[in-house]
Chains A and B, each alone.
Chain A
Amino acid sequence: MTAVGAADAPPQGVGASLRRKEDARFLRGRGRYVGDITQAGMLEVAFLRSPVAHARLLGVTKPEGAEDRVFTAGDLLGVGAIRAASNLAGFRVSEQPVLARGKLRHVGEAIAACVAPTRAEAEDLAAACTLDYEELPVVTDMLAARAPDAALIHEHWPDNAFLETRREEDLSDLDGIAAAKVTRRLRTARHCMAPLEGRGVLAEWDPRLEQLIVTSSAQMPHVIRTGLAEILGLDEAQVRVIAPDVGGGFGYKGILLPEEVVSAHLAMRLDRPVRWIEDRLEQLTANANCREHHYVVTAWADREGRLLGVEVDATVDAGAYSSYPFSACLEAAQIGSIFPGPYTLPRFRCRTVSACTNKPPILPYRGVARTGVCYAMETTLDALARQLGIGTDAIRLANLVPPEAMPYRNLVGKVFDSGDYPEALRRAIACFDLDRLRARQAAGEYVGFGLGIFCEQGAHGTSVYHGWGIPMVPGYEQALARFTPDGGLELRTGVHSHGQGLETTLAQVAHEVLGVPTARIRVVHGDTALTPYSTGTWGSRAMVMAGGAVAEACRLLGERALAIGAVLLQAGPEAVELAGGAVRRRDGSAAVALEEIARTWYRRPQHLARDVDTGGLEVTAGYRPDPDTGTHSYACHAVIARIDRDTGAVALEDYVVVEDGGKLVNPMIVDGQVLGGLAQGIGTALYEEMPFDAAGQPLAGTLADYLLPGATEVPDVRLDHMETPSPWTRFGQKGIGESGAIGPPAAIVNAINDALHRFGAELTDLPASPARVLAALEAGRRR
């Protein structure tokens, strides 16, 4: 029992850029996604979907002879509707039927489920159904939605709004004292989140366990389980949700799906495994569901650029229904609480509306409202700076929360934990030769420089979410840690990893605490039967919350191992310590590896005293930071954009991100998160848009129409990290998963406007497509 543990192994704990454990299976094509799983006797579902945006549904005629293979709302006995209310004052409750009932409220709404041995045959059935409906006037524009004569989407409501929020403050004196005032009207475009793998679900009933087993491409399996049990009238213990490998989420898979409910019901009713796999056409046309905002922003500043006040009127196009669990209002209501951004704004007035329209219901996409808010705030600041004739850096430095004020509580009560925001800005700017850029501009080139700075609240918990009053409020995050009899370490977590690398990073956390080599640590996730409850992976929370919970479970497990180790070393508890994967006598004379301790506990208990801690080598522990108002990572994006004056195309010449995610558990993976988010943000800024025509028809039905950035559209970004630990989390880590997607529209459009304003032009609406850039230039020419 000596010489245990290698002293000079490469670092594997918190802070190491460890290669990912999960890569091996993916690189061989051995990932297992829901579409890869089949069961004997399985039936496939194709949905008959609404061809119109707003209509009274009068009837569905099933194909002759196939009446028992086509199911409409009337056939779903005992199945409830999806209900995602919020207890924010004034929230209007609606129900989302899992198959349309009485009315059709958006193109793509599911009307009937058709089952057959293959998807192709199921689609044949759907195509053979006939629909009878009476079209109604369509509400496609979120501003027109509230016009007095607009058709009502939910007829028991007085108008088409889920919720209106107001933060009142009298700003009427600011006109008299401000040196500058600007007003901007801005729009962001409706998006598809477009993970490369679509949604999918395979449901089956296990008669032995009397359990419904639902395998779903899901980010939050435990929340889906709760929702499914409620809506199907089952005990929660009768539902098991498995999320296997998931081909990207970004928020798109943080939802209880109508298709999930229908597939589960049919599996029970038909006593056959039933599978539905979303295809790209369904995703684009039935589920374009995020990011569509409209803002009117007015800002006042003094001569130095210090903000005196901001007034915002924001509308979010929330679509036709309230999705479970995040509801239709989270995004708009969030605008009211995050608009002040990283600044010391003294006065603020804000109205937000969650408008109801004949479009698919919204979901929180990576960054949620922050991408739109950052875009609105940052472009408005640049407009102010131009009016004042000061630099876009100067106006930000005049308003950013200074490091000495941390932790800082802003005027709406958000608490920023730590960081040096001005330093991030200075570092980003120092990466550029701006004199050269100004010279190019003076020579007539259409180039510009733009900044976007923001903070990202992540891992916010009970104290924040109970206020929303939506179906899900995160509490303590739990993790289970246990030694297996062969001395391996198994971690079980209720969050899900679908690209974030948690199978690696949570092992790093456990290694940090226990010293077990990561090769001997397995992370189990994605199965409600195997893992402790968790609200899942969303809100940049996994590394803070599950990381904290794994650390706590491992700490407690270590204490148990220490007690056993002391017995084996015939030492008193104070004479031993846990280090390097072993329990050691403090005097260095002897050690026993954790593996040996595990083997003894499970297989040679005769070596242990009877009064040993009977809890054994398995611990479930909970974690919740205090305070739990969330971490605030922050970043400054800076970019040089070049515009082709003939085509309107925008090229990104040089892109810099200075990011502070606190202590980085795995810097390589953090870089990956930032870069991946950034590509999505570039999509928001320049390419992605789901246009709807006046009849509510989505106009981009393929990936040749809905443009995702490719390798030629995303530049080789320069990435710099500051690492200011959060004082509130286990290792100082901060949530950073969404950050990359927040900054690009602001920085890129600011760069475009820096180029355009010399020609009297300014861009306000996203994406900055060639057509919009040319239109802005043309408008400038006419001015």
Chain B
Amino acid sequence: MSRMPIRMTVNGKAAELVAEPRTHLADLLRGALLLTGTHLGCEHGVCGACTVELDGIPARSCITHAGACDGAAVRSIEGFDADPVMAALREAFSAEHALQCGYCTPGMLITARDIILRLPDADEARVREELSGNLCRCTGYRGIVHAVLRVLAERRGTAP
């Protein structure tokens, strides 16, 4: 099968790659780049486990063709170690027991960070709605919802 060249910025670093036209972004990240924090739960765009940031916006890397990412900036869970919002979320996820097996967690965190930045006034119902594209089979979501609400409250200065 033919292979195409792809140039991307991944977690702040330039990457030059080749991929088959049928390769999806998640396989490219997990394979050639060894960034296995991006997980695959369905490979058809429903579960959200593969969520990464693509040009600043959360995207499902399983239904994003790698070839369509030429010139794009991608940030995977490995690229947030210096990010203060992610640090606050990680702290809150642990405190609220928002993860069990950890498989949904990277995608959940990237979606959660987007909620925090985009919807600073979100209430519980809105947070649940915004999280509804990320499935978790382990936690029953309460810890996740509470963790997001906790960080929102901290940032509004209304934390208890």
Chain A interfacial positions (CB closer than 8 Å to B)? 19-20, 22-33, 35-36, 120, 194-197, 245-248, 250, 279-280, 498-501, 668-669, 671-672, 675-680, 702-704, 708, 710-712, 714, 716-717, 740
Q: How far is the CA of A703 from the CA of B43 in the complex (A)?
A: 10
List the B side residues contacting A711 at CB < 8 Å: 127-129, 131-132, 134, 141, 144-145
List the B side residues contacting A677 at CB < 8 Å: 140
In the complex, are the beta carbons of A702 and B44 less than 8 A apart? Answer: yes
In the complex, are the beta carbons of B99 and A27 less than 8 A apart? Answer: yes
A-B contact count (CB 8 A): 164
Question: B97 at the A/B interface (Cβ < 8 Å)?
Answer: yes
At the interface, is chain B mostly helix, strand, loop or mixed?
Answer: loop
In the complex, are the beta carbons of A27 and B140 less than 8 A apart? Answer: no
List the B side residues contacting A194 at CB < 8 Å: 137
In the complex, are the beta carbons of B141 and A22 less than 8 A apart? Answer: no
A19-B37 in contact given A280-B42, A280-B44, A711-B131 (Cβ < 8 Å): no
List the A side residues contacting B134 at CB < 8 Å: 710-711
List the B side residues contacting A197 at CB < 8 Å: 39, 41, 101, 103
Report the minimal beta-carbon distance from A703 to chain B, rounded to whole angstroms: 4
In the complex, are the beta carbons of B102 and A22 less than 8 A apart? Answer: yes
Q: How far is the CA of A120 from the CA of B149 in the complex (A)?
A: 41
Contact of A672 among B36, B104, B131, B143 (CB under 8 A): B143
Convert B31-52 into 0s and 1s, putting 1 for each residue whose CB lies closer than 8 angstroms to a CB of A: 0000111111111101101000
In the complex, are the beta carbons of B42 and A671 less than 8 A apart? Answer: no
Q: How large is the interface on B (under 10, 10 to 19, 20 to 34, 35 or more residues)?
A: 35 or more
Question: B30 at the A/B interface (Cβ < 8 Å)?
Answer: yes
Report the minimal beta-carbon distance from A165 to chain B, rounded to whole angstroms: 32
Q: How far is the CA of A28 from the CA of B76 in the complex (A)?
A: 10
14 extra A-B contacts, CB within 8 A, seeds A120-B22, A677-B140, A716-B124: A19-B97, A23-B102, A27-B94, A28-B81, A29-B77, A31-B37, A120-B20, A195-B103, A197-B39, A197-B41, A247-B101, A675-B141, A711-B134, A711-B141
- Could you tell me which residues of chain B, from 39 to 70, have a CB within 8 Å of some CB in chain A? 39-44, 46-47, 49
Question: B136 at the A/B interface (Cβ < 8 Å)?
Answer: yes
10 pairs of A and B residues whose beta carbons are closest in the complex:
A29-B37, A26-B102, A247-B103, A499-B100, A675-B140, A29-B77, A36-B36, A499-B101, A679-B140, A703-B46
Q: How far is the CA of A728 from the CA of B49 in the complex (A)?
A: 41
Q: How far is the CA of A714 from the CA of B36 in the complex (A)?
A: 29
At the interface, is chain A mostly helix, strand, loop or mixed?
Answer: loop
| Closest chain B residue to A248, Cβ basis | B101
Q: How far is the CA of A708 from the CA of B39 in the complex (A)?
A: 18
Report the minimal beta-carbon distance from B68 to chain A, rounded to whole angstroms: 17
List the A side residues contacting B30 at CB < 8 Å: 35-36
Q: How far is the CA of A545 from the CA of B101 in the complex (A)?
A: 21
Task: Supply 21 A–B pairs (Cβ within 8 Å), ascending by A.
Answer: A24-B94, A29-B36, A29-B78, A32-B36, A36-B30, A120-B23, A195-B103, A196-B101, A196-B135, A197-B41, A197-B101, A245-B101, A247-B101, A248-B138, A280-B41, A499-B100, A671-B97, A675-B140, A703-B46, A710-B133, A716-B124
Q: How far is the CA of A307 from the CA of B103 in the complex (A)?
A: 46
List the A side residues contacting B93 at CB < 8 Å: 23, 27
List the B side residues contacting A498 at CB < 8 Å: 101
Q: How far is the CA of A669 from the CA of B133 in the complex (A)?
A: 25
Q: How far is the CA of A472 from the CA of B35 in the complex (A)?
A: 39
Q: How far is the CA of A675 from the CA of B144 in the complex (A)?
A: 12
List the A side residues contacting B40 at CB < 8 Å: 35
Q: How far is the CA of A120 from the CA of B128 in the complex (A)?
A: 36
Question: B9 at the A/B interface (Cβ < 8 Å)?
Answer: no
A19-B94 in contact given A29-B37, A31-B102, A33-B39 (Cβ < 8 Å): yes
Q: Which of A33, A710, A712, A717 has the most CB of B within 10 A?
A: A710
Report the minimal beta-carbon distance from B124 to chain A, rounded to whole angstroms: 7
A30-B97 in contact given A120-B20, A703-B42, A711-B132 (Cβ < 8 Å): no
List the A side residues contacting B131 at CB < 8 Å: 710-711
In the complex, are the beta carbons of B99 and A26 less than 8 A apart? Answer: yes
Q: How far is the CA of A125 from the CA of B97 in the complex (A)?
A: 44
In the complex, are the beta carbons of B39 and A714 less than 8 A apart? Answer: no
Q: Which of A36, A245, A246 has the most CB of B within 10 A?
A: A36
| Closest chain B residue to A708, Cβ basis | B135
Q: How far is the CA of A246 from the CA of B100 in the complex (A)?
A: 10
